[in-house]
Amino acid sequence: MRRVAVYPGSFDPITNGHLDIIERTANIFDNVIVAVSNNPNKDHLFNRKERVEMIEEATSDYESIEVDAFDGLLIDYIKQQEAGIIVRGLRAVSDFEAEFQMASMNKKLDSDIETIFMMTKNKYVYLSSSIIREVSELGGCIEGLVPENVIPRLREEIGGE
Ligand code: COA
């Protein structure tokens, strides 16, 4: 049976921290679906089509990685994709509380679906999409922190670098 994992998030934009989790997940599962959400509590810089495109470009070397967008409950999307696993990255202890809450709620909604956590690589633990946007906006160097294809997109969108 094909083992499919879903890695959900807002990816505004994808960072090398996300990419590291995606690649390591692809080494474990037959297929990885990177599922891009629209979080109503966040002001997105890039629209969802742009966020999906950036991830597609960054993962184009991997046949087993698919990029998709979803609305509504993550659990419903997982069932629709016939995937059994949610993957989340953990950067620091501060991520734990929110992740614990989400994983517990998802388990309550469907006890057959498992959430697994992957430690973010040490060199990326301080990264987030919003810190990348901020540094880029203020003209700081984000080389090596996001996939190469993301840099011109950020430059175009908010200037910087
Ligand atoms: N490297 C770099 N950054 C990382 C990271 C890593 N390995 N892991 C997490 N992050 C950062 C992200 O960049 C993001 O930063 P930002 O806040 O500056 O944008 C932050 O951690 C968390 O964002 P993300 O992982 O995208 O989570 P989210 O809170 O935006 O969305 C969903 C999480 C999509 C899984 C959740 O909102 C969801 O399931 N939505 C669907 C609706 C639903 O089912 N709700 C009920 C859930 S119980």
pLDDT in tens, 102-144: 999 999 999 999 999 999 999 999 999 999 999 999 999 999 9
Query: In the numeric block, which tokens belong to residue 101?
Result: 């809450």
Asked if 89 and 50 count as a contact pair (C-beta separation under 8 A), the reply is: no
Residue percentage of the chain with pLDDT more than 70: 98
**Residue holding tokens 């620091």?**
92
Question: In this structure, what is the dihedral angle of CA atoms 145, 150, 155, 157, given to the nearest 10 degrees?
Answer: -120
Asked if 5 and 78 count as a contact pair (C-beta separation under 8 A), the reply is: no
Using the mean position of ligand 1's atoms as its centre, give its distance from the Cα of residue 130 in Å: 11
Mutate to test the pocket of ligand 1, among 42, 74, 80 (most ligand atoms within 8 A of CB): 74
Asked if 137 and 159 count as a contact pair (C-beta separation under 8 A), the reply is: yes
Average pLDDT of the residues of the chain:
95
Nearest CA to ligand 1 atom 47: 102
Asked if 82 and 52 count as a contact pair (C-beta separation under 8 A), the reply is: no
The pLDDT value given to residue 39: 83
* Whether residue 29 has pLDDT greater than 70: yes
Nearest CA to ligand 1 atom 3: 128
The pLDDT value given to residue 2: 84
DSSP-assigned letters across all residues of 26-76? HTTSSEEEEEE---TTS--SS-HHHHHHHHHHHTTT-TTEEEEE--S-HHH
List pocket residues of ligand 1, CB cut-off 6 Å: 8-10, 12, 15, 17-18, 21, 37, 39, 73-74, 89, 91, 102, 105-106, 120, 124, 127-130
What pTM does this model have? 0.95
- Helix or strand or coil: residue 6? strand
